[in-house]
């Protein structure tokens, strides 16, 4: 189970910490921290979508289907 977790979950947190510079919450309270976490996740997902668009050279023929498959499998 830990091997699978290492492949699926840990890289995402590593990318958020290293690439986005997210080390700690800056707001107090669970509602505010939850909102801050949602923004970090939103930025991470937008960067993934942008990377898929760029890797396809701007082609959008199967991009919608690929993105749906990516996010439905999670």
Domain ranges across the chain: 1-53
pLDDT at 70 > cutoff 60:
yes
Residue with tokens 């997902």, as numbered in its chain: 45
Reported pTM: 0.59
- Dist. CA 47–CA 55, nearest whole Å: 12
Length of the chain: 74
Q: Coil, strand, or helix at residue 51? A: helix
pLDDT in tens, 2-14: 666 556 777 787 7
Output the pLDDT for position 31: 93
Residue with tokens 């979508």, as numbered in its chain: 49
């Amino acid at each position: 189970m830990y091997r699978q977790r290492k492949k699926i979950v840990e890289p995402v947190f590593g990318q958020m910490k290293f690439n986005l510079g997210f080390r700690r919450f800056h707001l107090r309270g669970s509602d505010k921290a939850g909102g801050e976490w949602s923004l970090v996740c939103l930025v991470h997902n937008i960067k993934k979508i942008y990377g898929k668009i760029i890797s396809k050279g701007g082609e959008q023929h199967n991009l919608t289907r690929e993105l749906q498959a990516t996010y439905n499998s999670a």
